[in-house]
Amino acid sequence: MSSEEILFLSSSDVQGLLTMDECIVAVEQAFRVYGEGKAHPPAVLSVHTADGGFHVKAGLLELSQPYFAAKVNGNFPENPKRFGLPTIQGVIVLCNAENGNPLAVMDSRDITSLRTAAATAVAAKYLARRDSHTVTICGCGNQGRVQLKALSRVRNLRGVFAYDTSEPQASRFVQNMKEELGLPITVVSNLAAAVRQSDLCVTCTTSRQPLLGPDDSVPGLFIAAVGADSPAKQEIHPALMAKSKIVADILEQCVVMGDLHHALVAGVVTRAGVYAELGEVVAGKKAGRESEEEIIIFDSTGMALQDVAAAALVYEKAQRQGAGIRFSLAA
């Protein structure tokens, strides 16, 4: 491929190139590099509309070569009902960070989905109890399915509770995931009761109100709060945040979006009270779980370096395999 050619990778290309296991390794390395202070803080720009919004996430990573990636995603929760379109749509532009040369343009949906779940898996690896085996998935859409797959890679799961406000969606989740993972999965209507019987919980919804309160937990619980990726969204009550050890993916993002944002506004948590960023834990600068009893919340707002790492992995595999379509912007 000449220096003027750009690689275009469709959704099907990305699906064929990016595996869950590879993504977890790449995302863990991105957190480690950032935690070691070897990567610039990533950037995010958000623009909101009445029914959704857009965000641009950008970052730099030194991998096999210096890479820059910028992801432009639209997030419109009503899309499936109103237009028959995915909730999340967008593209990632990958560039050579040494000279600015554009390398690839690729569909962002599967990268976003897998790298989000991979971050949960990395967090659970360091923050969940080693003997954790029961998980509650709150939100049974595509992200819920991918989150369960990712967790199954890092913990020996034996039982799953599935909660969703849509019973048909929860039923589809059970059918699909039982076939794929062979785990016993139970649809539940009482989220709090399920979480109190669990070792792990993932919330991946579009909720704008708390789904879990201070009494909806048990000692030793690990919660990955994934859904609150804008200031208006919320899944965890500030009082539950206040009684837990909080680990942020990127503190500066969680301060303005995510569930930490709401706890700060409520005045029950301070920035200084946040235990760590996940990168600090992965890099060994701070301990992960320090007792079997502590409740730990991973506030996951989506770090751009996850996108850089996953996009670079996809690009390099595509180069080796001859995948995608090549085009040029030159006149």
Q: Check if 71 is active-site.
A: yes
The 3-state secondary structure of 56-89, one letter per residue? EEEEEEECCCEEEEEEEEEECCCHHHHCCCCCEE
Residue 188 CA to residue 161 CA, distance in Å, equals: 6
Beta-strand pair 200-203/134-138: parallel
Q: Tokens 């109890």 identify what position?
A: 129
Q: Residue 188 in contact with residue 211, Cβ under 8 Å?
A: no
Give the closest residue to 69 by CA, choosing from 117, 24, 119, 26: 26
Spot the catalytic one: 57, 71, 125, 233. 71
Beta strands in the chain (DSSP E): 5-9, 43-48, 53-62, 66-75, 88-96, 102-107, 134-138, 159-163, 185-187, 200-203, 208-212, 222-225, 234-236, 245-248, 276-277, 296-299, 325-328
Which residues make beta-bridge pairs with 298?
224, 247
Q: Which residues are catalytic?
A: 71
